[in-house]
Structure 1
């Protein structure tokens, strides 16, 4: 089974399976900067349109097959089934060989077994979404994390935090003038970062639903990154470049990470007036290099929209 880095996700755009332009996105005719695409059969599709959406998905995968597969430089492709029953059907489609995996909606410890039985194809990765009332309970999250590690750990790229569903469960909607961290998600996100992050899971950040305040999106992304989140759901194509620009690594962090990972690094040393301790900062440094590989390095004088230096490209 291939390995996918959670940093490869970048901005993840959800598109209803009823859309007719999905093939253009897969083959970079549209949104060439997009890193990951989710074809949604769940919340984005009305019950009356499910059969049409399934048919459209089959048409999409058939077209990909006719072209000899997805392009190597195209976005990662995921499908979000409506439930485990639909996932079991899709799991057996031969054309699913052109899909990287499933986004699992509303995963809980109670329905985990049904999903394990439904998705038996070992080539399909999973991105469970944490968006039910259980998520507010850290004990439930510890138990869910342990269950995921026991049976599915090698197939999980990242856990997605479903901020809108979690807020909706509280009867709330974010204030358009503040970040999500000024809501009860200011408790949930750090808790998940600690509980699930300590078990080795990467997490992605909830969607930012305001389109008129890109500066506030950037502010929220700074907090996402400070909590160790590796990507963010995009609600509109205009957010893609903002998200992926913010995920770039600063040159100062890159240099610090390289020094920490050096074979000749002392036990404790000072760099740019900051104390570095390789034994403590090792994991941070590894993650910084991985982010730099996928998203590039933000130059000191760079402005928004400048092309990043991507280490993966330099290496080639």
Structure 2
């Protein structure tokens, strides 16, 4: 079965250290409900002393996944990505590991300077890219404009599913850790995310939202998810299975937005009123397309009537 590779198809992307021994079982048995994509990480989630073990474990996992994939060709697995520690390890993995079960690579500490290295490593492969913006130069508007312009015309453009925003690394650049009381948007990252969306989103790149590291604070996660969507981000990094359902519930589309999107895509009028708001297809069409893409993957939440005593949620998949 050919997988549908889309930025919206990522949903909540679960990061798992390559030292874990249960990753194959998690993938093959579908142990984690609703898991759409995962990243096997060799970078920050693995200490330097554990790297040899992680590399050996990854090699064994990939062989096991390859064999399982051959036995069960119709299996509906989540998208699988590898996050190498650096370009050198990325090249080693590409050249020496069995990657037949892998969909792509998350490229750490991605910069314009590293573009040539990653392009050389992955040029002759089918793998999709998810470069991670997480270095000091992300704070430099000129550097990001230069990177976006280069990626827009580069031969890798068609392979880039989304750019990932590395919130924790970026906070580390300014000697901060995210607050337990405020969303990521209430500090310097609020500016950074707005700037990245303006620069990369305007060139058609999708961006995913940083992780909420306060795993058990679902209220904070829900607040942040609302702001992620308001900024046009398409998915979010997860570090615990209990975040996945919340993230993907947030990615569902309200019935009002769904109706507006359908009207905008199908209307012959230049301007019309719907739901108390102006709809203008010439300026709202890209928004409407993104809404319908979300509906395809996550469905629609049916708003309850005002008289309903106990609101319920209905999901409609296209």
Instruction: Tell me the TM-score range normalised by the shorter chain.
Output: over 0.9
**Does structure 1 residue 182 correspond to structure 2 residue 186?**
yes
Question: Which aligned pairs between 1:163-312 and structure 2 lie closer than 5 A?
Answer: 163-262=167-266, 264-301=267-304, 308-311=315-318
- 1:314 is matched with none
- 1:23 is matched with 24
> Runs of at least 4 residues of structure 1 off by over 6 A?
302-305
Give the whole-Å Cα distance in 2 for the aligned partners of 1:115 and 1:27.
Answer: 29
Q: CA deviation at 1:47?
A: 1.2
Give the whole-Å Cα distance in 2 for the aligned partners of 1:203 and 1:251.
Answer: 24
Unaligned runs of 5+ in 1: 312-316
Q: CA deviation at 1:2?
A: 7.5
Q: CA deviation at 1:113?
A: 1.1
Match of 2:108 among 101, 105, 108: 105
How many residue pairs get matched? 310
Give the whole-Å Cα distance in 2 for the aligned partners of 1:286 and 1:183.
Answer: 31
Superimposed CA distance per residue, residues 139-176 of structure 1 (whole angstroms, 9 cap, x where no aligned partner)? 11111111222221101000000000000110011111
Give the whole-Å Cα distance in 2 for the aligned partners of 1:65 and 1:96.
Answer: 8
Secondary structure of 2:278's aligned partner: strand
Secondary structure of 2:130's aligned partner: strand
Match of 1:128 among 112, 131, 134: 131
Matched-pair contact (CA < 8 Å) for 2:16–2:239? no
Matched-pair contact (CA < 8 Å) for 1:104–1:128? yes
Matched-pair contact (CA < 8 Å) for 1:85–1:118? no
Q: CA deviation at 1:310?
A: 2.4
Report which stretch shifted further, 238-247 or 93-102: 93-102
Matched-pair contact (CA < 8 Å) for 2:30–2:77? no
Specify whether residues 251 and 307 from structure 1 end up closer, same or farther in structure 2 by C-alpha distance, changes over 3 A only.
Answer: closer
Report which stretch shifted further, 130-139 or 118-127: 118-127
Matched-pair contact (CA < 8 Å) for 2:302–2:314? no
Matched-pair contact (CA < 8 Å) for 1:16–1:45? yes
Relative to the length of structure 2, the TM-score reads 0.93
**Does structure 1 residue 82 correspond to structure 2 residue 89?**
no
Match of 1:158 among 127, 141, 162: 162
Specify whether residues 265 and 93 from structure 1 end up closer, same or farther in structure 2 by C-alpha distance, changes over 3 A only.
Answer: farther
RMSD: 2.0
Matched-pair contact (CA < 8 Å) for 2:62–2:97? no
